[in-house]
Structure 1
């Protein structure tokens, strides 16, 4: 009797282990990296959930690609934590995800976290391309509704305005990533910030469905969209500081001032 019982217990344990949530990351890979020599991301194509037109400045951009398996029916969205910036993570029907990110020089980390808070996969890599100057000012926007389109707007001390229609500024700042397929990230970067007052806004622009963009109230997924804005100073240095803001959005057209700060 013992042998069949042990066999059953072993099979049950194997099935339970096989059903555990897991994640794979095809890129970026861990270790030492010199982008420009090994990285071929100058014209990235993001494919979830629909091929978007990414209007950002395309500086220092890398795709984060991978797959989630056995994720079950977790109520909370999974998260992609990049250099400490948590972003809601959604997948296609096969569990695949592809998101753009603009990495700076130095140590970078990518972590996939399940909806119940478990770390599924983590990679650390060192970007050795010194031409990639670390960002002294970074603003990262993400949100928890894949059927909504939110936009990041930044006004710099000289009065320039970076947003989806005009992503690159003459002062060296601009949107590195302007994700147009939900749920972000959108990223603003300056390596040599001007002194003065900055304004950070978030706009609920519209919704995204099978037929493309629309302005139909209620065609998004959540009644209240929770956006998260991370303000990061001196990223990837010993002097790094960050602030995080949680901003709810309810109606298409809302434009909210998230933060006014002096640099």
Structure 2
């Protein structure tokens, strides 16, 4: 069942600013519910290690999803929308009236970076997390969907080589793949992951399912904010390894009910 989510802002920032981005007091980020567990200082000065909660594919019904939370002050304006970039994957960042945001994401092992950019594309906050728990498996296939209209609900659909179909009503597949994140509160991301993909062809689709507002989900076309909704689909292969490669596609969605084949890709 789809439902709106607005997570409350947590109290403490957990992370270390890296790179040249300035520490902007108008941008704060907080740890996900339950926290990233502190586990000591890494070998590199100024870097802090954390142990993320395990983001298992078999979470079902949004149990235990990891949220990136924070608050923006005067970052968006009439020129455009701020952007959140997670591990190089850029997504529009929409907030509530008070500037707070909560975006779900499923992190892999190793180093993970989160950056906030203002509407002009300037970096305002950058946090790098270094994971202590190295036992989790790397995602060999990760597919990420985000879009540019917070009043619209788009859905990611993936059909695997054995004919199984991952989507919001069936997030867990028996072959080990599934939806890590099925965003239920606007603009994504939605995410499919598989750590041991079977050989064959994978079909990736995007569906413009409907809209939502204060009264919940509905199918009134007039409530969306963009005349053409732009979906951004990123396929990441062999994530966080030296062989990592990615493909990004921009897909226009014009009306409720649109179903677009984004990519058919062969593995193995």
TM-score range, shorter chain: 0.7 to 0.9
In 1, the alpha carbon distance for the partners of 2:129 and 2:242 equals 17
Q: How many residues align?
A: 228
Alignment of 1:1-263 (within 5 A): 22-27=26-31, 31-36=48-53, 55-56=61-62, 58=63, 61-71=65-75, 73-263=77-267
Find the structure with the greater CA-based Rg: 1
What is the match of residue 12 of structure 1?
A: none
Farther-moved stretch of structure 1 (116-125 vs 21-30): 21-30
The structural deviation recorded for 1:183 is 0.6
Change (3 A) 1:62 1:220: same
Q: Which runs of 5+ in 2 are unaligned?
A: 1-23, 37-46
Once residues 23 and 84 of structure 1 are traced to their aligned partners in structure 2, the CA distance between those partners, rounded to angstroms, is: 19
TM-score by length of 2: 0.80
Q: Following the alignment from structure 1 to structure 2, what is the Cα–Cα distance between the partners of residues 71 and 172?
A: 40
Alignment deviations for residues 132-167 of structure 1 (CA, whole Å, 9 cap, x no partner):
211110000000000000000000001000000000
Which structure dedicates a bigger proportion of its chain to helix?
1
1:77 CA displacement: 1.3
Q: 1:245 to 1:72 in 2, by over 3 A?
A: closer
* C-alpha contact (below 8 Å) 1:82/1:110 kept by paired residues: yes
The TM-score with structure 1 as length reference comes to 0.82
Which runs of 4 or more aligned residues in structure 1 lie more than 3 Å from their structure 2 counterparts after TM superposition?
A: none
- Alignment root-mean-square deviation, CA: 2.0
